[in-house]
Structure formats: structure tokens, C-alpha cells
Amino acid sequence: MYTQLEQRHSPRPPVNLGTLRRMKAEGEKIAWLTAYDASFAMLVDMAGVDVVLVGDSLGMVIQGHETTVPVTMDDIVYHSKAVARGLGRPFLVADMPFMSYPTRELALSNAVRLMQEGGAKMVKLESGSGQLGIVEFLARHDIPVCAHIGLRPQTVHKVGGFKVQGREAEAAAQMLTDAHGLQEAGADIVLLECVPATLGAQIAKELEVPVIGIGAGPDVDGQVLVLYDILDLTPGRKPRFVQNFMEGAPSPLAALEAYVKAVKDGAYPAPEHCF
């Protein structure tokens, strides 16, 4: 019983929300990566990554779809179970896929699946002002929530492509309001995708909860990238914020260690990765 507490004084105690809050307070950058199977989960853990995300990006990098829209709850549960078996120290977050949270009740039962079947410690959902009630409902039921704002890939067909968000003053102000609203609704982490670096910095400074960026500049509390992108496993043109950490690395583990180091010491993201 309470093995987490027993491991508190071990050299590699498991990461939990308290750890992530402390890291923000102390200015230690939080290194996230996606993973989709047990072998990579073990490697990512060995490299010192703090948080592992079973992202619905698996629809693109594993299943070969053009978007994340076809990913189902069963897909995420399957990959989350595999990742959970490979992890020791990192905190495991799983994505709520497209249309798995259209109502409060469905959101809650799907979040419970990700935690009970998939082994996730937190769920992430693409959220705007329209999802405030859902985030509040999940938080009220003690589900740890990461709210994903900025570019929300599940809306790709509605928005008409993958575009940087919050460039205009009005859109930036709305995003800041949404971020505060989501924190107030009970989100424990806010993830910002593809926003100008100045907006990323402002949101991270104003919020109490950790703010994690992907293409959101250096002045947020941590970074996340897609594993297959940083290991250069995905062919074709990469988003501007991606860095190929395999370049000059003797092994995938060395590349992952270089990513963690670059996030921790602030070398990644560099100006060329920012909007």
C-alpha cells in the first residue's frame, strides 16, 4: 500500500502532479515526449523524460492517417496500456480522441477508461471556451486534466488546415481568457500548440498551473514534441518547431537524452523553432 510514498526518497521517485507544480515554482523546465509502445516508453524513461503523452498523433505517425480525426478510444486505450507497462518514473498522460468528450457524461466515462484500463494518470483534451463545462465536470470528479489550446488538430477540417493560432491581438486576448478560464475550471496543466512565443510567455507567466508548449516558444514551463519527429522517423516536411535530435547522436537513446538536456538547459527551442 502507498508504494508511491515509499519511493519518495528513492533516486528516481515517480513524477506526479506535485512534482510538476514544484518544477514550475522552481523554474525547472519539464520535458515531455509522446510514446506509443512499451519499448519506446522504456527508452524515453531511461533518457530522463518527466512526462509521457500517448497522443492522438498516433493516428498520423503509427496508423498513417493524414489527421488525428480517425483515432478512437480503443486505439488510445490499447497504446496507453502498452506504454504504461514500459514506464517507471514518468507521469503518463493520455489523449481524449476526437468526439470522445461531446457531453460531460461521455467525457467522464471515457476519461475513466483511460485511467482504469490505460493506466493514465491524467487526460488531455483539446479545449476552448466550449469545453469549460466539461473540464469543470472532470475536475469535480477528481480526474486530472490537461487542457490543450492554440492549434487544436482535431478541428483541422473546421479550421481549414494546421495554422499558427493567436497571431492577431483579438485572438491572442481570447486565448489568454480561455487559458485563465480553463485553470479556474480545474485544469491542472495547460498545453499550448503553435502560438507566438510572446503569447506563450504571457500565458505561462500569468497562470499558476504548469504551461507546456509545442511551438509556443522558450518561455513556457516545459516542452513536448512527437517522438517520431525528433528521431527523424517521419518522412517529409516537419513543422518549424521540430528539431531532429538524431543528428550527430550515436543512438536513439543518446538522441532522447540530448532532447531532455536541451529542454532542461533552455537550448531547445531556439529562435528558429519559434513563431
Could you list the active site residues?
Answer: 193
Output 6 or 74, the one with its CB closest to ligand KIV.
74
Which residue from 29, 30, 41, 56 is in contact with ligand KIV, where contact means CB under 6 A? Answer: 56
State the binding string over 207-246 for ligand KIV (x if CB under 6 A, else -). -------x---------x-x--------------------
Contact (Cβ atoms closer than 8 angstroms) between residue 97 and residue 73: yes
Q: Are 134 and 125 in contact (CB under 8 A)?
A: yes
E-strand spans in 127-195? 145-150, 189-193
Q: For residue 211, how far is the Cα from the chain centroid?
A: 10
Does 34 bind ligand KIV (CB under 6 A)? Our answer is: yes
Minimal distance, residue 56 CB to ligand KIV, in Å: 5
Which listed range, 5-13, 50-58, 168-176, 256-264, lies at the site for ligand KIV (CB under 6 A)? 50-58
Using CB under 6 A, which of the segments 22-30, 48-56, 166-174, 256-264 binds ligand KIV? Answer: 48-56
Q: Which three cell numbers stand for residue 135?
A: 473540464
Minimal CB distance to ligand KIV: which residue?
A: 55
Based on CB atoms, which residue is closest to ligand KIV, 55 or 144?
Answer: 55
Q: Which of 45, 50, 75, 95 binds ligand KIV (CB under 6 A)?
A: 95
Among candidate residues 100, 95, 108, the one with its CA nearest the CA of residue 146? 95
Nearer to ligand KIV, 138 or 190 (CB): 190
Contact 29, 264 (CB under 8 A): yes
Contact residue for ligand KIV among 55, 150, 218, 222 (CB under 6 A): 55
One residue of 57, 110, 165, 223 binding ligand KIV per CB under 6 A: 57
Nearer to ligand KIV among residue 229 and residue 257 (C-beta): 229
Chain mean position to CA 232: 19
CA distance 181 to 19: 23
Which DSSP letter does residue 274 get? Answer: -
Q: Check the CA dihedral 45-212-79-254 and report its sign.
A: negative
Q: CA-CA-CA-CA torsion for 33, 36, 38, 42, nearest 10 degrees?
A: -10
Nearer to ligand KIV, 113 or 148 (CB): 148
Across 73-96, b (16+ Cβ under 10 Å) vs e yields bebbbbbbbbbbebbebbbbbbbb
Confirm or reject binding of residue 190 to ligand KIV (CB under 6 A): no
- Which spans of this chain sit near ligand KIV (rule: CB under 6 A)? 34, 53, 55-57, 95, 148, 191, 193, 214, 224, 226
